[in-house]
A and B are shown apart, each in its own frame.
Chain A
Amino acid sequence: MTREEVFKALDEVFEEVFDDASIHVGETTTAKDIEDWDSLEHINLVVAIEKRFSMKFTMGEVTTMKNVGEMVDIILERAQ
């Protein structure tokens, strides 16, 4: 999977979780950029992304990821 493909797949997950077809995420996207992305929705996002890429984040990663770019780094490293 290329980095672009991961971003494309992430767009779909974000669109579904936030029920908003206009969402596009990039390297520097953070929770501040998406209105409904609060700590409670973050859980659902993590669960949906884990499911989509058949991988799991560690506790440390979930708390320290700074932006979507870092999330993609982890996905690329771990996804099958």
Chain B
Amino acid sequence: MHFRKDKRKEGGMKELEYPFDGEYILKKKKSIKRKLLEEKQGGIKTKIAVLGGSTTNDIKLTLELFLLNYGIWPEFYESEYNQFYEDVMFDNPVLREFQPDIVYIHTSNRNIRAYPLLTDSAEDVEQFLEAEYQKYEGMWEKIFMEYQCTIIQNNFEMPYYRLMGNKEASDIHGKINYLTRLNEKIYAYARQHDNFFINDINYLSACYGLERWSDPFYWHMYKYALAVPAIPELSFNVANIIKSIYGKNKKGFVLDLDNTLWGGIVGDDGAENLEIGQETSLGQAYTEFQAYLKEQEQLGIILNVDSKNERENALAGINHPDGILKEDDFICIKANWNPKDQNLKEIASELNLLPESLVFIDDNPAERAIVSAQVPGVAVPEIERVEHYAHVIDRSGFFEMTNFSKDDAKRNEMYKENARRAELKATFTDYREYLLSLKMHGRIQAFEPVYMARIAQLTNKSNQFNLTTKRYTQPEIEETAADKNYITLYGKLEDKFGDNGVVSVVIGRVEKNACHIELWLMSCRVLKRDMEFAMMDTLVKKCMERGIDIIYGYYYPTAKNAMVKDFYGIQGFEKVSEDADGNATWKLAVDETYENKNTVIKVEDEQ
């Protein structure tokens, strides 16, 4: 069988995936761009200002390729040679007109104005350092103020020679010591600013080889601060930060077992004879790889298994006493004889994830080829030897972390709960029976201070189950909650597997004897749990308490909320009007004959 791997529509382009051939990319960048533009359609648009302390032309051109490959369409502003500082600090109508979403500052140790002399006192060196740093901080502050955008800033790579030899590292006059301390100041700024990210060229240049990276040939010939062949490594790194900012990180692994997580074939060799643990070099290498995967869990990266094995054998291997990963570390374990691409698609669907948010790891090139041909967009790194698995995965930047929320840290737990719900659901033929077995508890109340941030966040994040798609800031939510002319409700849902938190928000404006529902939304994580009926029951009750006898509901169609087009119809409302664009008004007369629609959630709605 022959598989085409060079080019996949909708998926990534192999030439641009790690490990790539940088010189090949540079040479073929025109034809690669042509192919990308033919294949990719739509995507996120972003405006990037590349401000350089050295030549940036090929950096911009290769960054464009990697971004297009991620489905991001960049538009660029490029500073004139070494004008990064002037472009920011002096009046710049062109940049203002451009309105960058991201400013990438490509500086290097070639931009250090002066280093301390051996005769300088400690105070002099400190002042030097502070002055150099202040130049940068002033520039970032100006950018934040002027453009309210994201900043990506290179740290400083180490110099290619050491005047004092090893002492350069510790002596305050050493360039290495000086740059290290300057970097530390930049990191401190990064820790305090959410929209400021370091492009770690200090690490990149070490990986590439500092001598090759900083070959002065390219500086003296073309004023490139790094070797031209190393440019794709740099651009790829920047592209990974940008795709992470735009929420395009991968979310989980789908892992083969035999010769991927341990050495040997569990079905043939028996679990007791697998290479895992400290007994052999090979066993140690697999153990270290498992430990690497285990570490990923802290980031909320989920682990799944896709293996051709009898389930019993697979579990025997997973439960090997010397393994780091245990059965409990995996969300979904598919061990059967089905094609791996089919298993992978099923895993994605069970987890409510898109297949392209998964990374498939398999030592067998034939399995990799099938999965990458059959599942467009899934990442399939070309791993070769177990001792290098982690290296290839790591440098691919699948999980580049830019922002980290409490939700991310809890993601593994949430998926485990969902997997348990799905298992339970499969044992029921009657859906209501299943809902009852979840033992759901709802809490439906007027907005409370502790939830204001979450409520505001939901109004900005929810797109699908959202009738009017009205967005609120937190102060607006607080104002509405305090206004007597509004009925506000939030809904929390808990079940026997866990707490889903605040998942539904309703805002009704009261006008005489009528209530107009200005906002009705629900998180898709609790679809088909009857939570929307529980919310309506409470709203009707609150309305009756205030002597309201009619409720108006509004549906405003968007590209994403078609799922709630008939929401009010299902709730028993009657359509009053609908215009040509589909904007509809519904009404419901309320009185004592209203019957509660929710029969599966136990609701606590009184303090």
Task: Say how far B339's CB is from chain A's closest CB, in angstroms.
Answer: 38
Chain A minimum-CB-distance residue to B30? A19
- Verify A47–B229 contact, CB threshold 8 A: yes
* Residues of chain B with a CB closer than 8 A to A18's CB: 30
Interface membership of chain B positions 101-144, coded 1 if the CB is closer than 8 angstroms to chain A and 0 otherwise: 00000000000000000000000000000000000000000000
CB within 8 Å for A16 and B220 given contacts A40-B57, A47-B228:
no
Chain A minimum-CB-distance residue to B227? A47
- Verify B221–A40 contact, CB threshold 8 A: no
Interface membership of chain B positions 218-249, coded 1 if the CB is closer than 8 angstroms to chain A and 0 otherwise: 10111010001100000000000000000000
Chain A minimum-CB-distance residue to B220? A59
- Verify B58–A16 contact, CB threshold 8 A: no
From B26, B55, B220, contact of A48 by CB (8 A): B26
B484 at the interface (CB under 8 A from A): no
Interface membership of chain A positions 44-80, coded 1 if the CB is closer than 8 angstroms to chain B and 0 otherwise: 1001100100000001001100000000000000000
From B27, B31, B58, contact of A40 by CB (8 A): B58
A6 at the interface (CB under 8 A from B): no
Task: Say how far A69's CB is from chain B's closest CB, in angstroms.
Answer: 21
Q: What DSSP secondary structure best describes chain B's contact surface? A: helix
Interface centre among A16, A40, A43, A59 (most CB of B within 10 A): A43
Chain A minimum-CB-distance residue to B34? A19
* Residues of chain B with a CB closer than 8 A to A16's CB: 27-28, 31
Chain A minimum-CB-distance residue to B224? A43
- Verify A43–B228 contact, CB threshold 8 A: yes
- Verify B58–A62 contact, CB threshold 8 A: no
- Verify B28–A59 contact, CB threshold 8 A: no
- Verify A43–B30 contact, CB threshold 8 A: no
A17 at the interface (CB under 8 A from B): yes
B160 at the interface (CB under 8 A from A): no
Task: Say how far A62's CB is from chain B's closest CB, in angstroms.
Answer: 6
A23 at the interface (CB under 8 A from B): no
C-alpha gap A73/B27 in the complex (Å)? 22
B217 at the interface (CB under 8 A from A): yes
* 8 A Cβ contacts from B26-61 to A: 26-31, 34, 55, 57-58
B23 at the interface (CB under 8 A from A): yes
C-alpha gap A18/B31 in the complex (Å)? 9
* Residues of chain B with a CB closer than 8 A to A43's CB: 58, 218, 221-222, 224, 228
A25 at the interface (CB under 8 A from B): no
* Residues of chain A with a CB closer than 8 A to B28's CB: 16, 19
- Verify A13–B27 contact, CB threshold 8 A: yes
Interface membership of chain A positions 18-43, coded 1 if the CB is closer than 8 angstroms to chain B and 0 otherwise: 11000000000000000000011001
C-alpha gap A43/B217 in the complex (Å)? 11
C-alpha gap A12/B27 in the complex (Å)? 11
C-alpha gap A68/B256 in the complex (Å)? 52
- Verify A51–B228 contact, CB threshold 8 A: no
* Residues of chain A with a CB closer than 8 A to B29's CB: 44
C-alpha gap A62/B218 in the complex (Å)? 11
- Verify B217–A44 contact, CB threshold 8 A: no
- Verify B26–A59 contact, CB threshold 8 A: no
From B23, B30, B57, B220, contact of A47 by CB (8 A): B23
* Residues of chain B with a CB closer than 8 A to A63's CB: 221
- Verify B27–A44 contact, CB threshold 8 A: yes
C-alpha gap A45/B251 in the complex (Å)? 39
* Residues of chain B with a CB closer than 8 A to A39's CB: 222
C-alpha gap A16/B31 in the complex (Å)? 8
Task: Say how far B214's CB is from chain A's closest CB, in angstroms.
Answer: 16
Interface membership of chain B positions 185-229, coded 1 if the CB is closer than 8 angstroms to chain A and 0 otherwise: 000000000000000000000000000000001101110100011
Chain A minimum-CB-distance residue to B23? A51
Task: Say how far A42's CB is from chain B's closest CB, in angstroms.
Answer: 8
Jot down 28 A-B pairs with beta carbons below 8 A, ordered by A: A13-B27, A16-B27, A16-B31, A17-B27, A17-B30, A19-B30, A19-B34, A39-B222, A40-B55, A40-B57, A43-B58, A43-B218, A43-B221, A43-B222, A44-B26, A44-B29, A44-B228, A47-B23, A47-B26, A47-B27, A47-B228, A48-B23, A48-B26, A48-B27, A51-B23, A59-B217, A59-B221, A63-B221
* Interface contacts beyond A19-B30, A48-B27: sample of 4 additional A-B pairs, CB < 8 Å, sorted by A: A19-B34, A44-B228, A47-B228, A62-B221
